[in-house]
Chain A
């Protein structure tokens, strides 16, 4: 009993240290603290092993699950987010420690090799990655969760005794169904995320790739997946297990391939959700409540993000999964775009002059800004304008960029003040009283035909009302239509000025013009 109390104390003393002084792992604290942390972990590991109580383990798992919930809750505001992150890290540490202390874990060499190797690689990637490459990174990370789920399920099938879920040939049917579902979702997440990664990284074309009979093939694969899970659950056949894993791999690949670049926010959110469901499926198989809780949290989170992204495009999730959106319409509009309409192309000097003499400017960033890495130059430009007494704010459309919140991160990276960045609902009314809307690398999200033209593919999509501003400046590389393949009539209006060129270069030129 004494041991029990001490071990709890060790856990709590760690937690309280986190609450008071922030996470020692994060704040670049001295080596001694790391040593202390490792020592504490070793001591509590030793104690937990000595106590050997499944109930205590279950309670610790519950604590970890609660910490994860607190981690998500912390994200409700920027102020509390850091603390939330610390909770998440403590929760993860607690979960790993509790598992390591399980009496059935007898050898540590593989585990430590995996943790150290993965830790080094993961940290190196996280340190080096550029913020513009964030969507790719997240997609790649999702694929790893999916593959890890596949491996865990395979291990559980290979040697159920290691997980305390029966012996070979006599795993409960319920567990097998869960295992089948878990591995299928995991495999789907793996290949799906790989394709998403390849598209975002530009390794394969971002255009939707479609072929005849695609939906039929996917439907057949989906049905055979369900049938295979059923037969696998009733037979515990290893062959069927690998067959269904293979089909799920193929299906994940085929499902994401036809989805175009600008739909990536939805795809990434969806895969985020899948990776959660896969973890929950494995949790059911292993009878581990922490995995179930976490899987459910992540699954719900991804689902909500997908919903928000779909709403931002006024499209249903099925519409996006069925894919092929960009391609058809681009072809259709190419026919209609034959007639040339006059537009006004301006210079950086013109833009600088207009904005300098304006009272208020709203900047609308889009994917083009991310591609050109223009956020720093843009912020510099905004700073100069502010010094001239111009009120500068930023308007973010929900689906701007390639993942939810992508633009916010890039602007934050460039030190744009948090309060200057506003969401669509917060700022949309203000365009009517704004002198200049500076649209940089965005197009479809400003297109008024989403409101008026019922035949337009983007009809019904909520847009930023930049048309209501006195002057609209578009920074674009060319006159080509946006992703949806729809021409933007704003380009041809009298109060619109087109600035052609790379977003970053244009910003730098405007800065030069402003300074002179």
Chain B
């Protein structure tokens, strides 16, 4: 196992995840395509993981600043994306 490069392992995960995404997304009902976009937008902000590392572990000020901006923008997306999705889905759920 030690011979396998991290790239190949990553590629394995990537290809499988593309397939999972493909099958899951085809099942999404067309009426919910807008919420789908908003929620995928929110979860793609998981890039905040990289941003947190930059902002929290860097020694260099420039890197910290880059990290801060990335965290800031990803956070706008995460909060905004999830909340706007919730607003949309609220409308689709019948009120009792």
Contact = CB atoms under 8 A, between A and B. Distances in A.
Interface of A: 26, 64-65, 68-69, 71-73, 75-79, 81-82, 84-85, 88-89, 91-92, 95-96, 99-100, 102, 104-108, 110-111, 113-119, 121-123, 125-127, 129, 131, 134, 137-138, 141-142, 144-145, 147-149, 151-152, 154-156, 158-159, 162-163, 174, 178, 268-269, 272, 275-276, 278-280, 282-284, 286-302, 304-305, 308, 396, 398, 403-406, 408-409, 412-413, 415, 417-418, 421, 423
Interface in B18-34: 18, 20-22, 24-34
Contact of A115 (B34, B71, B89): B71
Nearest to A174: B7
Contacts of B39: 71-72, 75, 84-85, 88
B67 A92 contact: no
A36 B80 CA distance: 23
Contacts of A304: 22, 25-26
A417 B74 CA distance: 35
Given A155-B66, A276-B44, A284-B10, A409 B34 contact: yes
Given A144-B73, A301-B36, A289 B13 contact: yes
B4 to A, nearest CB: 13
B71 to A, nearest CB: 3
B45 A145 contact: yes
Contact of A88 (B15, B42, B60, B91): B42
A115 B75 CA distance: 5
Contacts of B10: 283-284, 287, 289, 292
Contacts of A278: 47
Contacts, number: 384
Q: What 10 pairs across the A-B complex have the smallest Cβ distances?
A: A118-B75, A114-B71, A405-B33, A300-B21, A122-B80, A122-B79, A296-B17, A126-B83, A155-B54, A404-B33
Given A72-B21, A418-B92, A275 B41 contact: yes
Nearest to A64: B46
Interface string B55-96: 111111011101111111111111111111111111111100
Given A64-B46, A114-B75, A127-B83, 6 more contacts: A92-B78, A92-B82, A111-B55, A111-B67, A114-B55, A155-B58
Secondary structure at the A interface, as helix, strand, loop or mixed, is: helix
B37 A272 contact: yes
Contacts of A269: 37
A290 B49 contact: yes
Contacts of B29: 75-78
B77 A122 contact: yes
A113 B27 contact: no
Given A118-B72, A289-B13, A300-B25, A418 B94 contact: yes
A76 to B, nearest CB: 4
Contacts of B68: 110-111, 113-114
A486 to B, nearest CB: 25
B88 A423 contact: no
Given A114-B71, A125-B80, A298-B43, A72 B28 contact: yes
B32 A137 contact: no
B2 interface: no
